[in-house]
Structure 1
Amino acid sequence: MSVGNPRHQRHVSLRILLAGLAALIMILPFVIMLSTSFKPQTFVLEMPPELIPSEPTTRNYREAWSGNSFAKYFANSLYVALSTTFVVLLLSSMMAYAFARFDFLGKRIVFVVLLAGLMIPGIITIVPAFVLAKNLNLLDSLNGLTVFYSGGMVAFMTFLLRGFFEKIPLALDEAMTIDGAGPVRRFFHLYLPLSRPALATAAIFTFLGAWDEFVWALTVINDPEKRTLPVAIAALQGQRATEWGLVFAASAIAVIPVIVVYVFAQRQFIAGVTAGAVKD
């Protein structure tokens, strides 16, 4: 089919139109959130709504950050998300390395069981998980959140990284073995450096999962000083049901770390998610 074919051009135009429409639908709620966050309370529910506020103000941001211990909740979420990302990357990369390059008794069975756990919705296990957290004295604990977030994400990240590790040429592994490198050295000096795109992808998914998680944090955290941002924003909305500018300003601040993480890791992330899209 030639490039100048009218039918081909119509198909391309239709795909561009549909992609643009999908992008607009996805970004519109974010634009409305940002617009509302800069509006005074008296203009929040104005009709017709204005995407560009006629009288913009930063009062909502100042009040959101300085009031209601928001900075404390921000720090709590950042600690939990970063610690979860570190633990998940460490454990899942080591497990993926073992599944990709070593043979041991029950390897296939263990991997199938690991994947089977991904098929169980987290909400089903929330009650036994709560009992376990209580028995381990991990209630009302930020470290407790890290433990359970890590446990819930390790399986998928292991599955993700295993595929990348298996693509690393076995000849490089054998060459380092001949040079006297042991499994640990090969792991840190061969597999991890060559798997940066996969590690960046896993890091972004893990950070987002821990940063945005709401249900488990709401279930096990009772101390207001140990709340994470999603729980704090929900509580803010309950206390100030009509102050949507304040709620949206808090939500906009909560998005900043996500954007920062993606901006710094976007090149590796894109390489990671597209690595399997091209056939060797």
Structure 2
Amino acid sequence: MKMVYRIIKMVVLTAGAVISVYPLLFMLTTALQPSTLLFEYPPKLLPSQLTGANFAEAWTSQNFSIYMGNSVMVTAASFLLIFVLSSMLAFAYSRFRFAGKSLTFAMLMGALVIPGLTLVIPQFMLIRSLGLFDSYWGLITVYTASAIPFTTFLLKGFFDTITKEIDESVSIDCGGSFRLFLSVILPLSKPAFVPVTIFNALTIWEEFPWALTIINDPLKRTLPIALANFQGQYTTQWGIVFAGSLIALLPVILLFVFLQRYFIAGITAGAVKG
């Protein structure tokens, strides 16, 4: 019976892996094929001819390299602000007692259920009134504000699992809340920052509607817009589209590969308490 269960388990896992990997493999083979072979019939999973022309064309056309640099800068700046603000906010909710704590935390969590697209118009009006239209700060401000509720929720759940006896030890050593936060809570919470990093970086990296709405200057646009520009009104060079998509996907894959051993641990620990 155990053998049958293992066989079924392996079949299901193998099928799931194939379904997950096949789109990436199809993108890779398409990006490596010359344009003349893309629509040959019957289609071939392994192309008979390989070329890197599509990757070179994707990198040098449609300001792709500039857009990628913009995405790196916006993602890094947004995540830095998200990390600083959310970690301090989560620490306050986890360790302090103050008037309106439950109400304000409930309001913060309520922001998680609001679809982002429903806020585009009020966000646009707010950003324009602040003079941030068509600027990187117009992107960074909204990305930061949108990620704070979820990030705070996840970090607070992890901070709650850290025993409060440590707080008393720091107090005995004449350490205040700032020392407790920097020297104890943050170092112990490294596993929680891994899923936070991956989720927020991926969300900001691939965000399209707000970047398209707020940025008019072609040299300030981000990577998803560059990928959209590869698709023509009447014809689309799919080899270049997939090559650009793979280039855009590479930083995210590398980030996950380097942080994957902490990923599951951080998610599990952060979900213990909320």
TM-score normalised according to structure 1 size: 0.93
Q: CA deviation at 1:240?
A: 7.9
Alpha-carbon separation, structure 1, partners of 2:102 and 2:272:
27
C-alpha change, 1:276 and 1:225, in structure 2 (3 Å) is: closer
Number of the residue aligned with 1:101:
95
1:275–1:187 CA distance, 2 compared to 1 (3 A) = same
Query: Paired residue for 2:10, among 4, 9, 16?
Result: 16
Alignment correspondent of 1:250: 244
Q: Secondary structure at the match of 2:231?
A: helix
In the alignment of these two chains, the number of paired residues is 273
Q: Distance in 2 between matches of 1:220 and 1:151?
A: 15
What's 1:3 paired with?
none
1:217-268 deviation line (CA, Å, top 9, x unaligned): 1111111111111011101113683310011100000011101211222222
Distance 1:240 1:199, change over 3 A: farther
Q: What is the 5 A alignment of 1:1-280? A: 6=1, 8-238=2-232, 241-275=235-269
Q: Offset of 1:276 from its aligned partner?
A: 5.8
Shift of 1:182: 0.7
Aligned equivalents of 2:192, 2:15: Cα separation in 1: 30
Measured after TM superposition, the shift of residue 270 of structure 1 is: 2.9
Distance in 2 between the 1:259 and 1:177 partners?
42
- Structure 1 Cα separation of the partners of residues 146 and 236 of structure 2: 36
More deviation, 33-42/46-55: 46-55
Read off the aligned partner of 2:61 and give its amino acid letter.
Answer: G
1:98-149 deviations in whole A, cap 9, x for unaligned?
Answer: 0001000000000000001111111111111111111112221112101100
Alpha-carbon distance, 1:269 to partner: 1.9
Partner deviation per Cα, 1:37-95 (whole Å, 9 max, x = no partner): 00100111122222222110000111111222111000000111111111111111111
- Distance in 1 between residues matched to 2:234 and 2:256, nearest whole Å: 31
Which whole-Å CA distance do the structure 1 matches of 2:234 and 2:246 have between them? Answer: 17
* Equivalent position SS for 1:237: coil
Structure 2 unaligned runs (5+)?
none
CA contact (8 A) 2:139 2:211 kept: yes
Which consecutive unaligned segments of at least 5 residues does structure 1 have?
Answer: 1-5
Structure 2 CA distance for partners of 1:225 and 1:278, relative to 1, 3 Å: closer
AA of the residue aligned to 1:155: P
1 CA distance for matches of 2:223 and 2:265? 30
Q: Is the 8 A contact 2:67 2:219 kept in 1?
A: yes
CA distance in 2 between counterparts of 1:268 and 1:230 reads 28
Distance of 2:103 and 2:271 partners within structure 1: 28
Q: Secondary structure at the match of 1:80?
A: helix
Partners of 1:176 and 1:140 lie apart in 2 by 47
RMSD: 1.7
1:271 Cα offset (Å): 2.0
Moved more, 243-252 or 16-25: 16-25
Counterpart residue type for residue 10 of structure 1:
V
